[in-house]
């Protein structure tokens, strides 16, 4: 039986010509290698394992999946959540390790009435964006350490301090 899986981040877009995929991890895994390990993607309602052949943690975090050798072949994994066996995750070494935050409540300092939940992260040309469900709409907020005033892991709340008017750009 498959062990418990943890969402560790998301895939973005294919990168280069060798089938590499750019990824964004919500966990600090700089000292942890995924090479020759299995990651999982939810496809058709099932968790499907994929073996990581290579990874690069330079400017972009890239992975190459076994048996996929071109951008066209890996495109179906674009913008998907990545899961990993919880039992194989590295133990947290410091309080700076960022645990999975999808589903965290989002609060905005300048708008006490804002009620949102972090749905996912998406890569935009200039930066990562937090996609937040607020009422019946999705709100985009740049994932920028200058805008995050606090992350309360125990209460599962992300506190943003964003510039005035930024929320209005979503309308």
CB of 40 within 8 A of CB of 49? Answer: yes
- Report, at the CATH architecture level, how domain 105-170 is classified: Roll (2.30)
Single pTM value for the model: 0.55
Point out which residues pair with 105 in neighbouring strands: 117, 157
pLDDT in tens, 130-156: 889 988 888 898 887 788 888 887 788
pLDDT value of position 155: 84
CB of 62 within 8 A of CB of 22? Answer: yes
pLDDT value of position 9: 82
**The two structure tokens encoding residue 170:** 């979503």
pLDDT value of position 29: 61
Say whether pLDDT at 42 is over 60: yes
How would you class 135 by CB atoms within 10 Å of its CB: exposed for 0-12, middle for 13-18, buried for 19 or more?
exposed
Domain ranges of the chain: 5-88, 105-170
- Report, at the CATH architecture level, how domain 5-88 is classified: Beta Barrel (2.40)
Maximum separation of any 2 CA atoms in the chain, in Å: 50
């Amino acid at each position: 039986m498959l062990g418990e899986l943890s969402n560790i981040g998301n895939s973005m877009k294919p990168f280069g010509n060798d089938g590499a995929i750019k990824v964004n991890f919500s966990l600090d895994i700089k000292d942890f290698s995924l090479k020759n390990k299995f990651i999982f993607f939810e496809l058709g309602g099932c968790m499907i394992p994929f073996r990581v052949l290579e990874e690069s943690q330079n400017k972009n975090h890239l992975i190459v999946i076994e048996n996929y050798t071109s951008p066209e072949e890996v495109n179906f994994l674009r913008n998907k959540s990545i899961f990993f066996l919880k039992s194989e995750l590295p133990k947290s070494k410091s309080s700076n390790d960022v645990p999975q935050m999808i589903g965290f409540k989002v609060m905005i300092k300048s708008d006490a009435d804002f009620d949102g939940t972090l749905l996912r992260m998406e890569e935009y040309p200039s930066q990562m964006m937090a996609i937040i469900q607020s009422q019946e709409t999705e709100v985009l907020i740049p994932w920028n350490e200058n805008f995050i005033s606090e992350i309360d892991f125990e209460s599962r709340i992300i506190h943003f301090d964003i510039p005035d008017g930024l929320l209005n750009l979503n309308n």
